[in-house]
């Protein structure tokens, strides 16, 4: 995939965004999914597809008490597992993938998670997003995790024009300093949950407004709407 060309002006804007994120969110990287063992994070991330982290954490609290090892998941009955994870949605496909994934981990990787992204994405139910969650949290490998928040806000900030998660991932890898990749994920998720929500984003309250094309446009529309309302 060709590298993105960035002007000096755009580089300066990106650095301002990063600086503002670091000042606003003075935090270390923390995964929103609860886990103790590496394989538990893998299972939880598979379950998180089209489901909130909060719901996944509720489900895995009991799930990991019932299935205490990756071998337990490999030997699980699919119908029973479907019932156990029903509330996360898409439970039939998730149960099937979890069992197949667990079996391969046991048979080919001795129950250990592989580090290489190609090996990870070869597992059932594991795409690049899930693989990058594992690489960033378990192995400390710099990675961009393109979830719904990262996709939405990166587009709004003008850091990418793509909709495809893989293209977004590579676009952000080109534009963001490598040492910021993992931290960017958690910062943008936090921003997406509090200010830059999918519906009714609080652009007027956002600390990134001066460098956000979307936010500026939204404020312009709001000012125009308010002026029209006053005239009426």
* 53, 84, 147, 171: the active-site residue: 147
Residue 147 lies in a domain: no
Please say if 147 is a catalytic residue.
yes
127 burial type by CB count under 10 A (0-12 exposed, 13-18 middle, 19+ buried): middle
Q: Kindly report, residue by residue over 3-19, the tens digit of the pLDDT.
A: 567 899 999 999 999 99
Residue 122 lies in a domain: yes
* 53, 129, 151, 171: the active-site residue: 129
Q: Name the nearest CA neighbour of 68 among 46, 43, 93.
A: 43
Return the CATH number at 98.
1.10.340.30
Give the model's pLDDT for residue 2: 46
Q: What is the tally of structural domains in the chain?
A: 1
Q: Kindly report, residue by residue over 96-122, the tens digit of the pLDDT.
A: 999 999 999 999 999 999 999 999 999
Q: Kindly report, residue by residue over 188-205, the tens digit of the pLDDT.
A: 999 999 999 999 999 999
Domain limits at 93?
38-137
Percentage of the chain beyond pLDDT 70 is 96
Residue 90 lies in a domain: yes
Residue 198 lies in a domain: no
Give the model's pLDDT for residue 6: 84
Mean pLDDT, residues 178-188 taken together: 92
Residue 171 lies in a domain: no
For 131-158, b where at least 16 C-beta lie within 10 A, e where not — what string? bbbbbbbbeebbbbbbbebbbbbbbbbe
Please say if 167 is a catalytic residue.
no
């Amino acid at each position: 995939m060709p590298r993105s060309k960035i002007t000096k002006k755009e580089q300066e804007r990106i650095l301002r965004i990063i600086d503002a994120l670091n000042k606003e969110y003075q935090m270390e990287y923390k995964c929103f999914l609860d886990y103790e063992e590496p394989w538990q994070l893998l299972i939880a991330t598979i379950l998180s597809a089209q489901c909130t982290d909060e719901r996944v954490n509720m489900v895995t609290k009991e799930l990991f008490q019932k299935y205490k090892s990756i071998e337990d998941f490999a030997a699980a009955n699919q119908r029973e597992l479907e019932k156990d994870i029903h509330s996360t949605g898409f439970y039939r496909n998730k149960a099937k993938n979890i069992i197949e994934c667990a079996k391969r981990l046991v048979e080919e990787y001795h129950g250990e998670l592989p580090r290489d992204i190609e090996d990870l994405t070869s597992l059932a139910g594991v795409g690049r997003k899930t693989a990058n969650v594992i690489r960033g949290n378990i192995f400390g490998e710099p990675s961009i995790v393109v979830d719904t928040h990262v996709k939405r806000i990166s587009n709004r900030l003008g850091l990418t024009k793509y909709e495809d998660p893989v293209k977004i991932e590579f676009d952000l890898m080109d534009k963001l300093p490598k040492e910021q990749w993992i931290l960017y994920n958690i910062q943008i998720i936090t921003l997406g949950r509090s200010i830059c929500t999918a519906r009714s984003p609080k652009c007027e309250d956002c600390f990134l407004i001066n460098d956000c094309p979307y936010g500026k446009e939204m404020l312009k529309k709001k000012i125009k709407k308010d002026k029209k309302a006053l005239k009426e």
